[in-house]
Structure 1
Amino acid sequence: MLALSEDTGEERGQALERMTIFYLQAAETADRLAYPGRVRLDGHPADPGLPLPRLRNADETRAWFNTEHGNLLAAERYARTHGFPHLSARIAHSLAGFLDAECRWQDAVDVLQHAAAHWSSSGDRPALCVALLCLSSTHASTGRYPQAAETGERALEIARATGDREAEAEALRVLGVLHWHLGENRTAVELHQKALAIRMTAGSIWDQAKCHNNIAISLLSLGEQDRALEYFRQAISGFRTAGDQSGLARALNNLGDLYAHKGDLTRARRAFEESLPLAESTGNLYAQATVRTNLAAILAESGDPGAALALHQQALREFQVLGDRKSQATAHNGLGEAHHKAGSADEAERHHRKALDIARGIGTTQEVTRALRGLGRTELGRGQLDSAAEHLEAAIAAAHRVNDPDEEARARDTLAEVRLATGDVRGAKELLRQALAMMCILDEQEAIRINNRLIEIDQTSTG
């Protein structure tokens, strides 16, 4: 109130400008301490007259961001609306690492779009490239895939035109993650390998670990488990060396996913249970929810659908808070599978249909395929054989289109049971042989089960 009664408008404006500069310099300092691996802009020299916060480590810095992020967003908005767009854009850039790590994606989109517009109009191409990289990653995290592709490709074009190899590697990695979201894993692997090639000559152990982890994820989706395992091990080693608990948690979670695909539920559960406390210690809600989803799937497969349902529900709530639509589809599919294990066909169908609606809406083929297979399995159990066959054939086609042999094999296996129920023994056996050929590479236990099923059918049909 004294400022309003005793200071002039010019004096108040100068005070607010000084406060904005303080928040900018504090955020730049904190960003470098909390998220040292980011592709970032060079900071301006700090004003020695400003009392910047004394932050000793990354944990203190992240806590400071959590306390101050509302004020930082207000400072960004003030600068943007009061004639200081350059300060606004730099605050947005300094906030981007925190907003991404804490999954505050809508805030990130809001401020980064303004920053990108400013740097585009001012002709600062290196700064524009960095803003577009952050935007692309954020759009992908929230299922805005066309926007993610547009901004990522623009960033890659600028990085190559300006000769910025670090930004080029990050653009390739960001686009690789986008193609993984879309189920285009061959393209994803190619992009990640190009990024890794750059990082091997001009990157840190941490940069390389991120690339190794991303390559392994897409290789796993392609059914190349041995290659994926080697890349996961390199990622885990790299994150341990770099001291990145968050990255280590993600890599261990992905390793657990690999073991789950191989049918090794004991090792899968061990990896997830090692990953979860690490994810919880970082405070990253997305990482925690992802591990819970995967652990829930193992519990359902291990005969504990009740515990699985509780974890899936918790993860779904967290993904809804985050606005992560792809992961919401994943959680709904997980709930559908757990309800199927628990004998709740109506609930299984409801969740698979919800997953299908979300996945089709954002164009993520992985969850579309899984939802179609779940619906086909539920309809088979009810004797709705025509609709079951329709959904399973669509699942096979979608999985084949994106080269997902695990989902394709499982859909063929279920469709074989539909064919048997209609009396088509020959068609069922052919589908099982095709599924067996895929599962011999992917999952030894599933391969044994399918082979035993073939033997059983032969004995029944000849007896």
Structure 2
Amino acid sequence: MNRPGWSVGTLADSLRDERGRLGVVRSGELEVRAGAELSYRHLPEPAAHAFRTFGDLPDDAVPGWLVAVATGCDRETAGGLETLLDEHLVEVVGRDHLGLNRYRMHDLLRSYARELALTDNQEVRLRRRLRVIDALTAFARSANAAMPTRFLGVLGEPGERGLPEGPARAVAPTVRARPVDWFESEHRNLVGAVDAAVRLGRTDRAADLAIELAGFFDMRGAYGDWLRTHRLVLDAMPQHDDVRAAALLRNLGQVHLYQDRYPDALASFDRARALFSELGHPTGAAVAAVGAGSVHRIVGDLSTALTTFTAALQEFAAAGDRHGEAVARNAIASVWLERKDPETAAGWLRGALELSRADGDRHREAQVRRRVAVLHELRGEPQSARGELEHALGIFDELADLHCAAYVQQSIAELCLRQGDAGEASALLVGALAVQQQLGDRRAEARVAGLLGELHDATGRKQTARHYFHRSLATWRRLGLPDEAGRMDARLRSMR
């Protein structure tokens, strides 16, 4: 197949037809190369620079402001991006959650761009890559300052520090107004930038970005990316002796806790707590202590949990951290609720609720109200419990926290089950299951599937019950949790 008249633009148009792609590539690889070289030689220097720059950009579609940052230009359409669009060397592949155009270079063209990028001075390439990493980190820090939820961790200092001039700074107000949408849009590029920083040997930069991503990962249940980025950076660090390492360890403990790896979680929290204390960072130590206390509570060591939560409260209070105080008071209440002592829990919950509301932290308020619901159940007040859960659900819905909202739906469903309302319980659990599956929270998915199995078994729908029990069993096995899987397997055997 000989097409000497093909330009790269014609080739790109042809390659958009996936049915013809293999045939073109198999018989025309040399022509692709020749066409790309011909088109590149005829580009003006700003456009040629932009073409090479795409070889150093993430593989995913990118916004125009990031192209401008990478090329070092002060306008989005400067530096040749417009020329690349006109020549069909780059295409607009849609708009992101913020309504901004996303640009992508076809894979074959990108491969050539990567080769050309290697011809640039090594220092030029390094500056280009670091500009991208630094801009994404600065935006992540700015977005975190405007998030609708407060992350229980240690993040960088908020502000506009590090935001480049030009189109990146121009889009900053939109990012602050819609931080979750920005994180959603740049999720893959952000994770890729952590990898890139590690490969460049810039572990401090990689750590800074990974730490800023933890709050979004928590909100969206993105445990895989959370675990991988933090392990990657910690493994790349020559020593674990600074605040960055302590924050990464604390965050890693949280992921282990969510995924039921309790010994690993406790080890990470304890290491983080000791390191924060050694570095004179009381708030970080208190945050890590809350995590450690949560592990002790879950495994049934309530005395140690209470001691640990109380120590965290004292550290938060000494640091003047009202948000942390609310967290610790809520945690202390959880121990008294586990001990079936609603009256003692009530005082701690009252303090946590007052602090959350005074601080304007609606997300924490909703979390406290979930505990207040448990208190009402223990007192034999199911209607009051339902009211608190509905209030919490309304807050989570308003904050667009699908993950926490699904947990509350599950709590309401369990309350309905205990009150004999199987119909509403079923609808709520099915909705919660869909959300947990969408967000990739397999642990919650397994538990909700198990509850649906119990519900259908109790109402005589044996085949449907088996379906949900099998689903729960398979998920527990994928998570590598034999105790939970064993309970589901036993439940299935009892139905034979």
**TM-score over 0.5 for the pair:** yes
From 272, 280, 283, give the equivalent of 1:155. 272
| Rounded Cα–Cα distance in structure 2 between residues aligned with 1:306 and 1:236 | 32
Describe the SS at the equivalent of 1:18: helix
Change beyond 3 A, Cα 1:320–1:197? same
Q: Deviations over 1:1-56 (max 9, x none)?
A: 72337874223443222222211222223223434764234589934753434237
| Rounded Cα–Cα distance in structure 1 between residues aligned with 2:447 and 2:383 | 22
1:67 equivalenced with 2:185 (yes/no): yes
1:90 equivalenced with 2:205 (yes/no): no
1:14 equivalenced with 2:132 (yes/no): no
What code does the residue aligned with 1:102 have? R
Describe the SS at the equivalent of 1:83: coil
Displacement, 1:135? Answer: 0.7
From 158, 161, 179, give the equivalent of 1:46. 161
Change beyond 3 A, Cα 1:58–1:46? closer
Higher mean displacement: 65-74 or 28-37 = 28-37
What code does the residue aligned with 2:144 have? D
Match in the other structure for 1:228:
345
| Rounded Cα–Cα distance in structure 1 between residues aligned with 2:157 and 2:207 | 13
Q: Deviations over 1:145-201 (max 9, x none)?
A: 232122112112212322321121111101112223333333222211111111122
Write the mapping of 1:42-441 to structure 2, written as runs, cut at 5 A: 46-47=161-162, 49-50=164-165, 51-52=168-169, 53-55=171-173, 60-119=178-237, 121-122=238-239, 124-344=241-461, 358=476, 362=481
Describe the SS at the equivalent of 1:303: coil
- Asked if structure 2 preserves the Cα contact closer than 8 Å seen for 1:166 and 1:202, the reply is yes
Q: Deviations over 1:293-345 (max 9, x none)?
A: 11112222333202211211222333344444543454244324433552446
Describe the SS at the equivalent of 1:65: helix
Q: Deviations over 1:348-397 (max 9, x none)?
A: 577568768949964889x999x89x969x97xx9x9xxxxxxxxxxxxx
| Rounded Cα–Cα distance in structure 1 between residues aligned with 2:158 and 2:364 | 26
Match in the other structure for 1:31:
144
What code does the residue aligned with 1:77 have? D
Match in the other structure for 1:413:
none
Q: Deviations over 1:219-275 (max 9, x none)?
A: 212211111222222222222111122212222122222222333211111111111
| Rounded Cα–Cα distance in structure 2 between residues aligned with 1:363 and 1:239 | 38
- Asked if structure 1 preserves the Cα contact closer than 8 Å seen for 2:226 and 2:255, the reply is yes
| Rounded Cα–Cα distance in structure 2 between residues aligned with 1:341 and 1:318 | 24
- Asked if structure 2 preserves the Cα contact closer than 8 Å seen for 1:89 and 1:114, the reply is no
| Rounded Cα–Cα distance in structure 2 between residues aligned with 1:216 and 1:94 | 29
User: What is the RMSD of the two structures over their aligned residues, measured on CA atoms?
Assistant: 3.4
Change beyond 3 A, Cα 1:144–1:126? same
Displacement, 1:87? Answer: 1.7
Displacement, 1:106? Answer: 1.3
| Rounded Cα–Cα distance in structure 2 between residues aligned with 1:112 and 1:202 | 27
Q: Which runs of 5+ in 1 are unaligned?
A: 385-463
| Rounded Cα–Cα distance in structure 2 between residues aligned with 1:124 and 1:55 | 36
| Rounded Cα–Cα distance in structure 2 between residues aligned with 1:356 and 1:153 | 32
Higher mean displacement: 76-85 or 127-136 = 76-85
| Rounded Cα–Cα distance in structure 2 between residues aligned with 1:42 and 1:232 | 30
What code does the residue aligned with 1:291 have? V
| Rounded Cα–Cα distance in structure 1 between residues aligned with 2:427 and 2:296 | 31
What code does the residue aligned with 2:132 have? M
What code does the residue aligned with 2:212 have? S
What code does the residue aligned with 2:161 have? A
Describe the SS at the equivalent of 1:9: coil
Q: Which runs of 5+ in 2 are unaligned?
A: 1-39, 41-47, 53-112
| Rounded Cα–Cα distance in structure 2 between residues aligned with 1:48 and 1:150 | 36
Displacement, 1:278? Answer: 1.0
| Rounded Cα–Cα distance in structure 1 between residues aligned with 2:483 and 2:446 | 9
Structure ID, larger Rg: 2
What code does the residue aligned with 1:26 have? F
What code does the residue aligned with 2:128 have? A
- Asked if structure 2 preserves the Cα contact closer than 8 Å seen for 1:55 and 1:61, the reply is no
Change beyond 3 A, Cα 1:203–1:329? farther
- Asked if structure 2 preserves the Cα contact closer than 8 Å seen for 1:259 and 1:265, the reply is yes
- Asked if structure 2 preserves the Cα contact closer than 8 Å seen for 1:253 and 1:272, the reply is yes
What code does the residue aligned with 1:106 have? G
Match in the other structure for 2:100:
none
What code does the residue aligned with 1:9 have? D
The TM-score, its normalising length taken from structure 2, stands at 0.67
| Rounded Cα–Cα distance in structure 2 between residues aligned with 1:351 and 1:314 | 14
- Asked if structure 2 preserves the Cα contact closer than 8 Å seen for 1:142 and 1:323, the reply is no
Describe the SS at the equivalent of 2:435: helix
| Rounded Cα–Cα distance in structure 2 between residues aligned with 1:206 and 1:300 | 34
How many residues align? The count is 376
| Rounded Cα–Cα distance in structure 1 between residues aligned with 2:380 and 2:466 | 25
Describe the SS at the equivalent of 2:172: coil
Report percent identity of matched pairs. Answer: 24
Change beyond 3 A, Cα 1:235–1:326? farther
Higher mean displacement: 54-63 or 80-89 = 54-63
1 or 2, which has the higher helix percentage? 1
| Rounded Cα–Cα distance in structure 1 between residues aligned with 2:354 and 2:176 | 21
What code does the residue aligned with 1:215 have? I
The TM-score, its normalising length taken from structure 1, stands at 0.71
Change beyond 3 A, Cα 1:92–1:173? same
Q: Deviations over 1:105-150 (max 9, x none)?
A: 211111111222344x145422211110111012111222232122
Change beyond 3 A, Cα 1:340–1:269? farther
Match in the other structure for 1:427:
none
| Rounded Cα–Cα distance in structure 2 between residues aligned with 1:320 and 1:326 | 10
